[in-house]
Structure 1
Amino acid sequence: MAVIAAFVLNAGLNFVLGLLIAKLLGPADFGRFALATTGAIVLNTLLFEWLRLSATRFYSGRVRTDEPWIRHGLDRAYLRLGLLLAAAAAVCGGLGLGEGADGREAVLCGTGLAALGIGVFDYHAALARARFDGRLYLGLVAVKNALALVLMAGAAWFLPQPAWVLAAAGLSQFLAVVVLWSPLRDPAAAVERARMSTTWGTFARYGLPLIAANAAYQFLSFVNRGAVASHAGFEEAGYFALAADVTSRVLTTLGMALDLLLFQIAVHAEEHRGRAAAEAQVAGNAATVFALLAPCAVGFWAVLPALQAVVVPEAYRGPFETYSLALMPGLFAFAMMVYAVSPGFQIRRRTGPVIVAALVALVLNGLGLLVLPRAFGGIGVALAQTLGLAGGCLWLGWRVLTGSERLVFPWGQIGAAALACAAMGLALAPFRALPPGTALAVLVPAGMGLYGALVWIFDIAGLRGQVMTRLRPSRAVAAE
């Protein structure tokens, strides 16, 4: 539960921080900042993601003591790549000294520092999750968010250029690891250098297909934000960026929390009960992910007009809702693809098909960019993104659900969750027209209450049973 609490904390503070940075920088500079942030995420994905994914797949509490060469291999690979990235950022910073913080080299330097901080933080967070150390993970996330709020908001207030805010983002994540360095360390063990090349080879075969796919999706996002800027200017790119960031966080933050928790359970099942048990766990996880993400999408649609009026900075209102509605179906498809479908390939260590799905998404997105922006302007880019992500999800779903080694998803549970979401959407639709404050006060508890009641009555995706299983030990302890 600490992992879920950490993600809720992270999502809430990131949401507030994103709105604050958008307000302090203004649409144009926020558009540049968002474009550079996407570049930092792409850079982090290319350099470090294969190692983070390997940590979630191959590292555990048992491995921590029985197979120390796994952590040694991860640490040394991160160190070498981190030093390379830090040197590149320093070169960019040196070249841009004469142009100031608004120059291209300064932004590139900030992008590199942000990518380095993200990589270091995500790696150590993955280690804490793999050990099922929820308290350490929660502390890491809390420290990072506190530092980010102070450093990034301070940079945007006192030095309102994207380069400084990017550098502050990287520094906040790096310092969070420094603060909690002691509990993040493993017991001392001799380094077996002879195992390094074999260990890195294992990481590469598992992780490189996944990072190729992730990099493709980040590249898709980067290209689309650039396309909006080229068609309608950086101000329009700022509108697109804020809508994409907020909608993505609504649909993927919980999905990421569920995936990282549920996938570790599947890995644990494989270690103790074999591959068949792990695959059954992955199939059940898919129903759980859908049952919890689908109502988030419907609820976000219901509160979107009120959310825009109450929370979104005035300069972004109007375009924010339009872009969010156009992006939502594609981002939901992406969340399901990554957190419900891809684990079926990851548990088998056969990650090649995820690359093909990413290529399908890129091709469809590119075809959409050739046609839709000419007809619809910036909103056409959002529609092209939705087309690409939905197509990639459909292809990967077809691949995992067909053939001799197909997974059997619990379609009855998924269908029940879909019907419950439809009922919730129909019940909430009339209240969307209420004044913003009243709408939020009515829609949020009503939606949670209605969907929660349906889940409890019909035990959708087995969620009632999971809750009762967690409550029974507590009751037994209390009785004793």
Structure 2
Amino acid sequence: MAVIAAFVLNAGLNFVLGLILAKLLGPADFGLFALATAGAIVLNTVLFEWLRLSATRFYSGRVRIDEPWIRHGLDRAYALVGLGLIAAAAVSLLVDSDAGAEGRGAVLAGTMLAALGNGVFDYHAALARARFDGRLYLGLVAVKNVLAFAGMAAAAWYLAHPAWVLAVAGLSCLLSIVILHRPLRDPATPLARDRMGTTWRLFMTYGLPLIAANAVYQLMPFLNRSVIAVHADLAEAGYFALASDVTGRSLTTLGTALDLLLFQLAVRAEEFEGRAAAEAQVGRNAGVVVALLLPCAVGFWAVLPALQEIVVPEAYRGPFVLYAGLLIPGLFCLSMMFFAINPIFQIRRRTLPVIAAAGVGLAVNAAGLLVLPTMFGGAGIALAQTLGLVAAFFWLAVRALTGPDRLHLPWREIAASAAACLAMGLALAPFRHLAPGLALATCLPLGIGLYGILVWIFDIAGLRGHVLARFRPVCPAPAE
């Protein structure tokens, strides 16, 4: 539960921080900040994600004691990549030193520092989760978020330039690691230098296909925002960025929190019970993911107009609802790929199909950019992204769910979730365009209550049993 609590905290503060930065920086600077942030995410994905994924797959409480070379290999790989990134940031500053914080070199250096900080933080957070140390993970997330919230908001207010905000974002992540470095350490053991080469090859074989796919998915919004900036202006890119960021976080935050826990359960099942048990756990996990993420997508659509009027800065209203509404289906499909389909390829260590799916998505997105913007303007770019993500999802789903080694999903649970969400959507639709406060006050309790009742009655994805198990008193073992 600490993992879920940490992610709720992280999501809530990031959501509020994004709105504050949008207001303080203004549409044009926020558009530049959004482009740089997308670039930082791509850098983080390309440089560090293969190592973070390897940590979640190969590190555990047992490995921490019995196979210390796994942690040694991870630490040294992070150090080498991080030093290279710091050197590149310093070169960027030196080359464009005359322009100061307003220059492209400063923005590029800030982007690199943000990528470094996020990469190192995500790695240490993954280590805490792999050890099932929920208190450490919660503390790490809390410290980072407090530092980032205060520092980034202050930088946007006093320094008023994206380069400073990006730099503070990276520094806050690194400082949180320094503050909690003692509990994050492993027991001191001699370095097994002869195992480093084998360990790094294991990480690359497993992680590089996944990060190549993730880089493509991060490249898509970066490409789309750039196209909007070129065809319209940075302000329009800012409108698109805010809608994309808010929608993406609304649909993926819970999924990421679930994946942090559910995938580790599958890894532990393989470690103690074998591959078949791990694959069965992945199938059950997929049912839970659908049962919890699909109502989030429907509920977000229902409250979108009210959300715009209450929390979105005035300068972004209008385009926000347009872009967010068009992006919901694609971002939901992206969540399903990441949290329901990808894990089966990760457990099997056969991750190449994930790259192929990303390639299909990028090709469809690019084809859409050639046609749709001339027909629908900025909305066409949002449509192109959604079509690309939907195509990638269906391609990967076919690979996972067909053939002799197909993943067995709980189709009854998934159908029940879909039916319950349809009932919830139909019930909420008449209230979407009420006055904003009244719409939220009506839709939130009605949607949660209706879906919750249906889940409880039909025990969708076994969620009723999970809830009862949390509150069922533990009976002491009988005395001998």
* CA-atom RMSD in angstroms: 1.2
Q: C-alpha separation between the residues in 1 aligned to 2:385 and 2:98?
A: 38
Deviations 1:231-258 (A, max 9, x none): 1110100000000000000011111111
Partner of 1:449 in structure 2? 449
Partner of 1:172 in structure 2? 172
Paired residues for 1:356-395 under 5 Å: 356-395=356-395
Tell me how far 1:431 sits from its aligned partner. Answer: 1.3
Partner of 1:158 in structure 2? 158
Q: C-alpha separation between the residues in 2 aligned to 1:101 and 1:3?
A: 37
Tell me how far 1:476 sits from its aligned partner. Answer: 3.8
Bigger mean CA deviation after superposition, 431-440 or 21-30: 431-440
Tell me how far 1:102 sits from its aligned partner. Answer: 1.5
Q: Residue type of the partner of 1:5?
A: A
Paired residues for 1:420-439 under 5 Å: 420-439=420-439
Aligned: 1:105 with 2:87: no
Tell me how far 1:438 sits from its aligned partner. Answer: 1.4
Tell me how far 1:471 sits from its aligned partner. Answer: 2.1
Q: C-alpha separation between the residues in 1 aligned to 2:474 and 2:56?
A: 32
Partner of 1:11 in structure 2? 11
Q: C-alpha separation between the residues in 2 aligned to 1:142 and 1:199?
A: 32
Paired residues for 1:137-148 under 5 Å: 137-148=137-148
Q: Residue type of the partner of 1:4?
A: I
Partner of 2:338 in structure 1? 338
Q: C-alpha separation between the residues in 2 aligned to 1:150 and 1:418?
A: 40
Q: Residue type of the partner of 1:396?
A: L
Tell me how far 1:66 sits from its aligned partner. Answer: 0.7
Q: Secondary structure at the match of 1:255?
A: helix
Q: C-alpha separation between the residues in 1 aligned to 2:246 and 2:156?
A: 19
Q: C-alpha separation between the residues in 1 aligned to 2:143 and 2:232?
A: 38
Paired residues for 1:41-60 under 5 Å: 41-60=41-60
Q: Residue type of the partner of 2:317?
A: R
Tell me how far 1:96 sits from its aligned partner. Answer: 2.2
Deviations 1:52-96 (A, max 9, x none): 000000000000011000000000000000000011111111222
Q: Secondary structure at the match of 1:126?
A: helix
Q: Secondary structure at the match of 2:438?
A: helix
Q: Secondary structure at the match of 1:135?
A: helix
Paired residues for 1:280-429 under 5 Å: 280-429=280-429
For normalisation by structure 2, the TM-score amounts to: 0.98
Provide structure 2 residue ranges, at least 5 long, that are not aligned to the other structure: none
Q: Secondary structure at the match of 1:101?
A: helix
Tell me how far 1:446 sits from its aligned partner. Answer: 1.4
Deviations 1:163-200 (A, max 9, x none): 00000110111111111111000011111000000000
Paired residues for 1:69-218 under 5 Å: 69-218=69-218
Q: Is the contact between residue 301 and residue 325 of structure 1 (CA under 8 Å) also seen in structure 2?
A: yes
Q: Secondary structure at the match of 1:17?
A: helix
Tell me how far 1:475 sits from its aligned partner. Answer: 5.0
Tell me how far 1:441 sits from its aligned partner. Answer: 1.4
Partner of 1:21 in structure 2? 21
Deviations 1:137-158 (A, max 9, x none): 0111111110011110000000
Q: Is the contact between residue 216 and residue 358 of structure 1 (CA under 8 Å) also seen in structure 2?
A: yes
Q: C-alpha separation between the residues in 2 aligned to 1:229 and 1:322?
A: 17
Deviations 1:201-260 (A, max 9, x none): 000000000000001111111101101111111010000000000000001111111111
Q: Secondary structure at the match of 2:99?
A: coil
Partner of 1:468 in structure 2? 468
Q: C-alpha separation between the residues in 2 aligned to 1:446 and 1:188?
A: 54
Q: Is the contact between residue 27 and residue 235 of structure 1 (CA under 8 Å) also seen in structure 2?
A: yes
Pair 1:475–1:392, CA change in 2 (3 A): same
Q: Secondary structure at the match of 2:8?
A: helix
Q: Is the contact between residue 413 and residue 460 of structure 1 (CA under 8 Å) also seen in structure 2?
A: yes
Tell me how far 1:43 sits from its aligned partner. Answer: 0.4
Q: C-alpha separation between the residues in 1 aligned to 2:70 and 2:340?
A: 27
Q: Secondary structure at the match of 1:455?
A: helix
Provide structure 1 residue ranges, at least 5 long, that are not aligned to the other structure: none
Q: Secondary structure at the match of 1:183?
A: helix
Q: Secondary structure at the match of 1:98?
A: helix
Q: C-alpha separation between the residues in 2 aligned to 1:433 and 1:227?
A: 32
Q: Is the contact between residue 117 and residue 171 of structure 1 (CA under 8 Å) also seen in structure 2?
A: yes
Q: C-alpha separation between the residues in 2 aligned to 1:69 and 1:475?
A: 39
Tell me how far 1:404 sits from its aligned partner. Answer: 1.0
Deviations 1:19-63 (A, max 9, x none): 000000000000000000000010011110000000000000000
Q: C-alpha separation between the residues in 2 aligned to 1:236 and 1:169?
A: 24
**Number of aligned pairs?**
478
Q: Is the contact between residue 232 and residue 377 of structure 1 (CA under 8 Å) also seen in structure 2?
A: no
Q: C-alpha separation between the residues in 2 aligned to 1:341 and 1:34?
A: 28
Tell me how far 1:470 sits from its aligned partner. Answer: 2.3
